[in-house]
Chains A and B, each alone.
Chain A
């Protein structure tokens, strides 16, 4: 475990906790895309299939349970909780995320590290995670005025994968035969998708003005 990866995991954990905190305290999910949350739940469910078969470390297992639990509870809140679901603007959150799932599945069947169920599911979860933020970014463009917590949530989510890229570079140079093209390319695409959001986020932060994304 190197510093970059630990920082990445903590940033990712913090992004999820910021979101859960927002939903739980103000009982609102305004500005949050349910589609992205559902995609993340699928990402974790398909990536952590080895939760009970491969024990790597206590840290690894605990973090998997936390990610699974938090993403499922966010989806539950946004779908079932009587107060929270009222603040979900479904007519704005219209990204057809089903169109993301099938191509990722087909790609995983074609490009994987080994043609086994677990490895195909693992590759699928990486491809899906790379594009899972799209519904949320589209929703931000639509709703324009982004409240602080949502902006912080998306920023932290983008930052976590950036730390992971540093982790992969570090591991490439320090570990023999550490090569995972699938992970690296997916992670790079994922981070690039946040590019313009980061640009506007830093601008709003620098000029100390409300974060506005161009229409």
Chain B
């Protein structure tokens, strides 16, 4: 399951 944590890249 791809983590959908906040996206840390610009």
In the bound complex, do residue B7 and residue A5 qualify as a contact, i.e. CB atoms below 8 Å apart? no
A residues in contact with B6, CB < 8 Å: 50, 54, 56
Decide if A60 is an interface residue (CB 8 Å cutoff): yes
* Contact in complex: B8, A60 (CB < 8 Å): yes
Q: How many residues on chain A are close to B (CB under 8 Å)? A: 21
| Partner among A67, A122, A167, A177 whose Cβ is within 8 Å of the Cβ of B7 | A122
Q: Contacting B4 at CB < 8 Å: which of A56, A60, A63, A119?
A: A119
Closest Cβ neighbor of B9 among chain A residues: A5
Q: B10 and A60: CB pair below 8 A?
A: yes
Closest-CB distance, B7 to chain A (whole angstroms) = 6
Residue numbers of A with Cβ under 8 A of B are 5, 9, 12, 50, 54, 56, 60, 63-64, 67, 113-114, 119, 122, 164, 167, 177, 179-181, 183
| Contact count band on B | under 10
Judge whether A12 and B2 touch: CB under 8 Å: no
B8 CB to nearest A CB, Å: 5
Residues of B within 8 A of A12 (CB): 10
Query: At the interface, is chain B mostly helix, strand, loop or mixed?
Result: loop
B residues near A9, Cβ cutoff 8 Å: 10
Q: Main secondary structure on chain A at its contact with chain B?
A: helix
A5 CB contacts on chain B under 8 angstroms: 9
* CA of A12 to CA of B4, assembled, Å: 25
**Inter-chain contact A114/B10, CB cutoff 8 Å:** no
Shortest Cβ distance from A179 into B: residue: B2
A122 to B9 Cα, complex, angstroms: 11
A57 to B4, CA, bound (A): 18
Q: How far is the CA of A12 from the CA of B3 in the complex (A)?
A: 26
Q: In the docked arrangement, what's the CA distance between A13 and B4, Å?
A: 26
**Interchain CB contact under 8 A, B8 and A56:** yes
Q: List 20 A-B contacts (CB under 8 A).
A: A9-B10, A12-B10, A50-B6, A50-B7, A54-B6, A56-B6, A56-B8, A60-B8, A60-B10, A63-B10, A64-B10, A113-B2, A113-B4, A119-B4, A122-B7, A164-B9, A167-B9, A177-B3, A179-B2, A183-B9
